[in-house]
Structure 1
Amino acid sequence: MNRKPLILVCNDDGITAPGIRTLISVMNEIGDVVVVAPDNPQSGMGHAITVNTTLRCNPITVDEGPQLEYSCSGTPADCVKMAVNEILNKRPDICVSGINHGSNASLNVIYSGTMSAAVEAGIEGIPAIGFSLLDYNWDANFDACKEYVKTITENVLQQGLPEGVVLNVNIPDLKKEEIKGIKVCRQAHGNWKEEFEKRVSPQGEDYYWLTGQFVNLDKGEDTDMWALENGYVSLVPVQFDMTAHHYIKNLNTWNL
């Protein structure tokens, strides 16, 4: 009898977020699920880890189901480290992170706590996927995500992923029948035009609120932004080796 795969589920929106509850329900159809997720929202934390304060990680029951769940006081990357080293004491067959409330396409992957959990799993040698839905609302409808989450997860379990590669999956905010399918693509080149909105607290103290608008500078039709704007689920293989290999030869010509 074949063993069910052991699946680690994480996120950055917090363990009670509707996105991770949807992800857990899909993963329960595939394997044995262990959830280790933040006890409060950790969006935009990138690959931060906790080094100067204590970490707490306690069993919790959020809803009925066969999964085991743990609520962690740390970041998404902390959750993966805690799962592998303290809770599971072994590497799971796969780690899935999300489903994030909002886009992690293009440059957003750098800031994403959702993707940092997937990347941390990849560093540990675990096949990993980050899933996001392009709807920032807490009460977003994740029904259209389920089919794609299950299909991509099962393919990774069957095919595996090369060392150093994790998958970044973004799903357009469309009805199920409106989504055209999955498109394998590259990360679009874009950036954020940001500003800090200055405000005054009731106590008369100045404070700032970060605002901004994403600008897509990439006109290619092979990017995640193009796929999402045209009704496709985008699937981007991401590598966490940040070496600019193509520039090493140039650097070796410098007078160093």
Structure 2
Amino acid sequence: MAKAIKPTILVVNDDGITAPGIKALIEVMQEIGQVIVVAPDSPQSGMGHAITIGKPLRLDKVDLYEGVEMYKCSGTPVDCVKLAVNVVFQGKKPDLCVSGINHGLNNSINVLYSGTMSAAVEGAIESIPSIGFSLDDFTLEADFSATKKYIRQIAEQVLNHGLPQATLLNVNFPNTKDIKGIKICRQANAKWAEEFDERLDPHKRKYYWLTGVFQVNDQGEDTDVWALEHQYASVVPVQFDMTAHHAMSFLNSWKFND
């Protein structure tokens, strides 16, 4: 009997190649496929979909985990995916791209700022089935053990069934050992009410430190915020086509001068 060919899985993140979260994700992916890692050489949180265009990129092979082909990249999470596809895979696409596990949530509006999710979005732009994973714990001591069985289930479902065109998954986990299950959700209507703390450096020059409060303007029980508050893992299908299709007829009602 011919031996089954394992799927190839690209693992990326934004917390850096030595982050505990990516180690946990690698461990799960090793159970189901051949893993290749391309990750930033330093933390890149909040980089969104930034790419490096004004300076050279470095891509160096490293040996951190047994049996895993790994590369550290001097660029952003999106740079990592681009280099993985064009240099490491040499144009041949992996079967799956997974990003994370991020230290901290990427639910609701956070998806726009997240380097973790932007790496997954770039995978989807390259027509690779892609998933971003995040846990509600920013610490280096974060315990990812409760997430692993759900990560495997979700990854296997994507490998078995694929995803709709131009769609990826944003998966967030509550910080508990007793996750109740998985909820398919919509993105909650929420935003950061931001403040900038004004301070003085040793030279008496002003600088600003970003702070803020997460404001939820959505009482729906079908959102990622609700799911996480009730100890469920949230799964939100995300698209990178940002066209507001519902606004097309409204704009077409406007009268323009020829």
Q: Is the TM-score greater than 0.5?
A: yes
Instruction: Tell me how far apart the structure 1 counterparts of residues 78 and 249 of structure 2 sit (CA, whole Å).
Output: 33
Partner of 1:228: 228
Q: CA deviation at 1:40?
A: 0.4
Instruction: Tell me how far apart the structure 2 counterparts of residues 213 and 51 of structure 1 sit (CA, whole Å).
Output: 33
Instruction: Tell me how far apart the structure 2 counterparts of residues 189 and 159 of structure 1 sit (CA, whole Å).
Output: 29
Instruction: Tell me how far apart the structure 1 counterparts of residues 27 and 66 of structure 2 sit (CA, whole Å).
Output: 8
Partner of 2:241: 241
Partner of 1:149: 151
Q: Deviations for 1:132-152, whole angstroms, at most 9, x for unmatched residues?
A: 000011111111111111110
Q: CA deviation at 1:206?
A: 1.5
Q: CA deviation at 1:199?
A: 1.1
Instruction: Tell me how far apart the structure 2 counterparts of residues 163 and 122 of structure 1 sit (CA, whole Å).
Output: 8
Instruction: Tell me how far apart the structure 2 counterparts of residues 67 and 27 of structure 1 sit (CA, whole Å).
Output: 10
Give the 3-state SS of the residue equivalent to 1:131 in structure 2.
strand
Q: CA deviation at 1:217?
A: 0.5
Partner of 2:50: 48
Partner of 1:207: 207
Partner of 2:63: 61
Give the 3-state SS of the residue equivalent to 1:154 in structure 2.
helix
Partner of 2:17: 15
Partner of 1:97: 99
Q: CA deviation at 1:204?
A: 2.1
Instruction: Tell me how far apart the structure 2 counterparts of residues 205 and 249 of structure 1 sit (CA, whole Å).
Output: 50
Instruction: Tell me how far apart the structure 1 counterparts of residues 82 and 4 of structure 2 sit (CA, whole Å).
Output: 28
Instruction: Tell me how far apart the structure 2 counterparts of residues 54 and 210 of structure 1 sit (CA, whole Å).
Output: 29
Instruction: Tell me how far apart the structure 1 counterparts of residues 76 and 141 of structure 2 sit (CA, whole Å).
Output: 23
Instruction: Tell me how far apart the structure 2 counterparts of residues 250 and 198 of structure 1 sit (CA, whole Å).
Output: 42
Name the stretch that deviates more: 245-254 or 119-128.
245-254
Number of residue pairs the alignment of both structures matches = 253
Instruction: Tell me how far apart the structure 2 counterparts of residues 138 and 148 of structure 1 sit (CA, whole Å).
Output: 21
Counterpart residue type for residue 218 of structure 1: D
Give the RMSD, CA atoms, in angstroms. Answer: 0.7
Instruction: Tell me how far apart the structure 1 counterparts of residues 245 and 4 of structure 2 sit (CA, whole Å).
Output: 41
Structure 1 gaps, min length 5: none
Instruction: Tell me how far apart the structure 2 counterparts of residues 41 and 21 of structure 1 sit (CA, whole Å).
Output: 15
Partner of 2:180: 180
TM-score (norm 1): 0.98
Instruction: Tell me how far apart the structure 1 counterparts of residues 26 and 109 of structure 2 sit (CA, whole Å).
Output: 27
Structure 2 gaps, min length 5: none
Partner of 1:78: 79
Q: CA deviation at 1:202?
A: 1.9
Counterpart residue type for residue 40 of structure 2: P
Give the 3-state SS of the residue equivalent to 1:107 in structure 2.
helix
Q: CA deviation at 1:205?
A: 2.0
Counterpart residue type for residue 95 of structure 1: C
Counterpart residue type for residue 204 of structure 1: K
Instruction: Tell me how far apart the structure 2 counterparts of residues 249 and 33 of structure 1 sit (CA, whole Å).
Output: 46
Partner of 2:192: 192
